[in-house]
């Protein structure tokens, strides 16, 4: 009887193996390839008429800026020339008044000779003390003589600051003259700040000439 059962066991073992193989989980699927990012599209060039308008507007603004700059420069030059002419007229009027009132040309020239100052200073410079000494001699020779000392500054700094600085400069010259025997009442002072430049330039040489005290005769020798 055992000879009949043995052949039936082989198919059953094969079926069991087949069932075990079918029960395994399927292998995971491969990931789908990621597509490469598309290249960014280049910006479209602006229309030709838009570019032309931008260029024309830029050129127009540049021309306006140049014209405005030239106009400002012309106004500044005209103003400087006017102020300088006014200062020169005042000096000539002072000399003419001095001559009418009995001052010799040499004495008038001594009085008209300005004294100068360092930048932002109101101290008398050693080189100008001799000028003031010669003015003292003219005062002593003409007891009725009276003058106005006008303090001036260069163009740098505010109007208010330069008015105060110009007054200190005029006061410094007056103190020297009074200390050397000139009566206080014969000298008045005024400050023009930076409003009366002799030289309209904008460099060191012009600034040095404009930092000064002017001496104007208000009453001559007679």
Predicted confidence (pLDDT) per residue in 82-131, tens digit: 666 666 666 565 555 555 567 899 999 999 999 999 999 999 999 999 99
Residue 62, pLDDT score: 86
Better-predicted residue by pLDDT, 23 or 191: 191
Measure Cα distances from 98 to 101, 143, 149, 156, 189 in Å: 5, 14, 15, 33, 18
Better-predicted residue by pLDDT, 56 or 156: 156
Domains of the chain plus CATH, in order, are 55-219 (3.30.1330.60)
Better-predicted residue by pLDDT, 70 or 85: 70
Residue 61, pLDDT score: 87
Residue 27, pLDDT score: 58
Rounded Cα–Cα distance for residues 107 and 103 (Å):
6
207: nearest Cα among 77, 131, 118: 118
Other beta carbons within 10 angstroms of residue 156's beta carbon come to 14
pTM beyond 0.85: the answer is no
Residue 68, pLDDT score: 78
What is the strand order of the sheet 212-219 is part of? 115-116, 212-219, 146-152, 187-193
């Amino acid at each position: 009887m055992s000879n009949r059962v043995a052949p039936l066991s082989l198919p059953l073992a094969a079926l069991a193996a087949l069932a075990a193989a079918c029960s395994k989980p399927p292998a995971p699927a491969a990931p789908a390839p990621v597509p490469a990012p598309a290249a960014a599209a280049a910006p479209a060039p602006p229309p030709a008429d838009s570019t032309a308008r931008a260029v024309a507007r830029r050129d127009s603004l540049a021309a306006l800026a140049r014209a405005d700059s030239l106009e400002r420069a012309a106004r500044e030059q005209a103003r400087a020339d006017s102020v300088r002419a006014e200062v020169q007229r005042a000096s000539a009027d002072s000399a003419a008044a001095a001559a009418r009132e009995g001052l010799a040309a040499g004495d008038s020239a001594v009085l008209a000779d300005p004294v100068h100052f360092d930048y932002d200073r109101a101290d008398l410079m050693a080189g100008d003390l001799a000028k003031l000494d010669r003015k003292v001699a003219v005062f002593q020779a003409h007891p009725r003589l009276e003058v106005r000392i006008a303090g001036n500054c260069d163009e740098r700094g505010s109007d208010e600051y330069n008015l105060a600085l110009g007054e200190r400069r005029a006061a410094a010259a007056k103190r020297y003259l009074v200390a050397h025997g000139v009566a206080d009442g014969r000298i008045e002072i005024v400050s023009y700040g930076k409003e009366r430049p002799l030289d309209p330039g904008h460099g060191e040489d012009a600034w040095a000439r404009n930092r000064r005290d002017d001496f104007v005769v208000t009453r001559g020798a007679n």
